[in-house]
Amino acid sequence: MAVVSLSEARMRMHELLLDVRVPAEYARIIEDHFLGNEVLGKSSHGIIRFPYVLEYVRKEGAGGAMKEVASTQQSRTFDANRLPGVVAITLAAEDLVAHLDASPESALAAVSVTNYHVISGVLGRYAYQLAAAGYIGIAMASSWAIDAPPGGREPMIGTNPIAVAVPSTNAPVVVDVTTAATAYGKVLLSKANGEEIAEGIVIDADGNPSRDPDDADNGAMLGLGDHKGFGLGLAVELLTGVLVGGDIASREHNDRRDGAMLLALRPQAFGSDNYLERVSALCNLIVESEARPGSDGPRLPGEKYALLRSPSEWPETFEVPDSVWEAFVNV
Amino acid sequence: MAVVSLSEARMRMHELLLDVRVPAEYARIIEDHFLGNEVLGKSSHGIIRFPYVLEYVRKEGAGGAMKEVASTQQSRTFDANRLPGVVAITLAAEDLVAHLDASPESALAAVSVTNYHVISGVLGRYAYQLAAAGYIGIAMASSWAIDAPPGGREPMIGTNPIAVAVPSTNAPVVVDVTTAATAYGKVLLSKANGEEIAEGIVIDADGNPSRDPDDADNGAMLGLGDHKGFGLGLAVELLTGVLVGGDIASREHNDRRDGAMLLALRPQAFGSDNYLERVSALCNLIVESEARPGSDGPRLPGEKYALLRSPSEWPETFEVPDSVWEAFVNV
């Protein structure tokens, strides 16, 4: 493993992004997203993805502006003009927060976005962005077709994550789950390590159960619990890509149109004057409850997000595999 | 099995409900809900639940009116005054549809409701109600604490279902999943049949893996995939019971306060002028895709909801176990 200085990694990212004419404020969003994911321990969405984003910026550019293609008092749809996904969705979340901050009578609002380029990043980050501003945040995004329906063997929808974050008296509570049996990145990791994967995650090209990680691409992935996860993933697909004009059932990984949907609710509008306290009360009961034998005790989802509250509190260093660091410095 | 005439069952329900002073329009909602569930083949939420509802109506009454406790231009929160859950949530969905129908400039709206008495019914029915009116419908509800957190062994949240329904050029697409490893009703069914259940559904009171269906009550249930399903279930809890003043982590089954949240989005507001066609296009690709070996082919979630379109097309009869029919006629 290589021990990486966060500020050094940030500086290098910044230079590389400015070299390919990414505006400084967009560069900062990209750096914050991928380095913040390292802080969260989500190394599958950390600097390992940066060379990939840079390649796309070189190809498609990253200097455009979001274009509003539909709007109402409570909703906006943006065409991201092939901005990087993490820039487009972060800007969409900023827009949503600005709208609700400026409209105290507004109980809820939504922003959808399409035509960004890969990748959409960690959805929990956008939900967190909304919750850190005091709102209940919901974030969803579509991706290339890789999940097969129950009874079927052809990839039809993406691994389509759902993230929900809510404010509390402490850090926001952040839930971020893929609707597939596992994250695609984890399958890639097993593949890199030459390991088999558990049953119930992929099927081979003939539709038979498989433990070969290559079958995520050669066959298909399954939904979490097969029909339940596929159902939720389909719901995400219908609320994102299908709603905003994204590709339908396309297996193309790269030159594609996905969709993201952000929803934010103002908790006070629903009659609860002590929502933050009630959220914390439930969370405290959970973390203080009895452990299962052999476990470290009950865990809340997204506990590490508390680390993101202030960039000045981010750790100075993080570790990545040597190969990831080499790819990063040689990009 | 007993072959039951739908109109006979409806008549008997109607008389019994009127006997306990349920207003005729509320009685009709209860009949439609439980008989419609039989039409859908969801017999775990069919007339088997009716005696239970009747018992609660006898105890708590069912003649009240929903009371608005908070409202904005786009949201309303109702105290259901101990109405039966299926009445309260059906009325909430009607309110949401009426609001959006009357506000064509409105892109989305939400209604939350609390203080209804058990049971909340099949959540997909309310999402369907919104989709049948042309909106993207999302429905969630909390229930008594039965799911343990990852690493923990104490019940902290309900089995908390999520339902999403969207309109298409054919019948609405309806997704309705519990966030627990399986529905509580299915565990009860295994118990009634003297069967063990699969691993990963419940743990015993000491937190050890168990296949004994009694441990759903004596120990705890697990989330779907443990941490993923618990995360989603927690998100539902925070958007429903915790938001609207429901009970927190209470294991009391009956005299309790749950919460339900309904969200509806107007697809046209998001810039898609052919949403229904795009939904149908994806659904058609799915049902026409290749089958897995030994399966009947790919299945869409909620296919049976097409049967609900017109009550005049409901089948004349349905089958229930003799014991269910006897309980129903002897209530």
| pLDDT tens, position by position, B209-244 | 999 999 999 999 999 999 999 999 999 999 999 999
Identity of the amino acid at B141? A
Residue B85's pLDDT is 95
Kindly give the residue spans of alpha helices, DSSP state H, lying in chain B. Answer: 6-19, 24-39, 50-60, 85-102, 123-132, 184-192, 215-218, 227-239, 275-287, 322-329
Q: Which residue of A has its CA nearest to B219?
A: A292
Q: Which residues of B touch A246 (CB under 8 A)?
A: none
Q: Do β-strands A75-79 and A108-114 pair in parallel, antiparallel, or remain unpaired?
A: parallel
| pLDDT tens digits, one per residue of A103-126 | 999 999 999 999 999 789 999 999
Ramachandran angles phi, psi of B173, nearest 5°? -85, 130
| B303: closest chain A residue by CA | A231
Chain B residues with CB under 8 Å of A244 CB are: 270-272
- Which one of A96, A111, A238, A268 would you mutate to disrupt binding with B, by most B Cβ within 10 Å of its Cβ? A238
Q: Is A156 within 8 Å of B269 when comparing Cβ atoms?
A: no
pLDDT of B64 > 90? The answer is no
Q: Tell me if chain A has a CB within 8 Å of the CB of B69.
A: yes
Q: What is the pLDDT of residues A211-270, one digit of tens each?
A: 999 999 999 999 999 999 999 999 999 999 999 999 999 998 878 899 999 999 999 999
The continuous run of DSSP H or E covering A67 comes out as: strand A67-71
Is residue B321 scored above 90 in pLDDT?
no
Interchain pair B238, A166: CB under 8 A: yes
Q: What is the average pLDDT value for chain A, to the nearest integer?
A: 95
Q: Read off the pLDDT of residues A34-66 as tens digits, 9 standing for 90 and up.
A: 999 999 999 888 998 899 899 999 988 887 899
Q: By CA distance, what is B302's nearest residue in A? A: A231
3-state secondary structure of A51: helix
The C-alpha of A157 sits at a distance from chain B's nearest C-alpha, in angstroms, of 9
Residue with tokens 């989500």: A42
Give the ipTM. 0.97
Interface of A with B in 306-325 (CB under 8 A): none
Q: Name which residue leads in pLDDT, B256 or A98.
A: A98
Cα dihedral A292, A293, A295, A297 sign: positive
Please report, rounded to a whole number, the percentage of residues in chain B having pLDDT higher than 90.
85
CB contacts < 8 A, A to B, total 278
Give the CA radius of gyration of chain A: 20
CA distance, residue B314 to nearest chain A CA (Å): 25
Rounded Cα gap, residues B157 and A24, in angstroms:
44
User: Do the Cβ atoms of A153 and B267 come within 8 Å?
Assistant: no
B224, B269, B290: residue with CB nearest A70? B269
Q: What is the per-residue pLDDT for A60? A: 86
pLDDT of residue B179: 98
Q: Can you tell me whether residue B128 is helix, strand or coil?
A: helix
Q: Tell me, yes or no, if A200 comes closer than 8 A to chain B by beta carbon.
A: no
Strand, coil or helix: B135: coil
Which among A136, A203, A243 has the least Cβ separation from residue B270?
A243
Q: Do A243 and B136 touch (CB under 8 A)?
A: yes
Token digits for A311? 């960039």
Instruction: Please report the pLDDT score of residue A43 as a whole number.
Output: 85
CA–CA gap between residue A276 and residue A152 (Å, rounded): 44
Determine the Cα–Cα distance for residues B224 and B98; give it in Å rounded to an integer.
35
Task: Compute the half-sphere exposure of residue A237: CA atoms within 13 Å on the CB side of its CA.
Answer: 33
Note whether B228 contacts A177, CB cutoff 8 Å: yes
Q: Is the pLDDT of residue A197 over 90?
A: yes
Contacts A296 to B, Cβ<8 Å:
151
Distance of CA B297 to the CA centre of its chain: 27
Q: Can you give the pLDDT at residue A64?
A: 84
Is the pTM for the entire model greater than 0.95?
yes
Residue B98 half-sphere exposure toward CB, CA atoms < 13 A: 8
Chain B residues whose CB is inside 8 A of the A107 CB are 72-75, 110
Q: Does A198 touch chain B (CB under 8 A)?
A: no
The distance of A270 to chain B (nearest Cα, Å) reads 6
pLDDT on residue B316: 93
The runs of H, that is alpha helices, within B193-273 are 215-218, 227-239
Name which of B69, B73, B270 to mutate to probe chain A: the one with the most chain A Cβ atoms within 10 A of its Cβ.
B270
pLDDT at residue A331 above 90? no
| Chain-chain contact of B272 with A243 (C-beta, under 8 angstroms) | yes
Residue position matching structure tokens 């443990």: B226
Residue B7 banded pLDDT, cuts 50, 70, 90: very high
Per CB-CB distance under 8 Å, the chain B contacts of A208 are 292-293
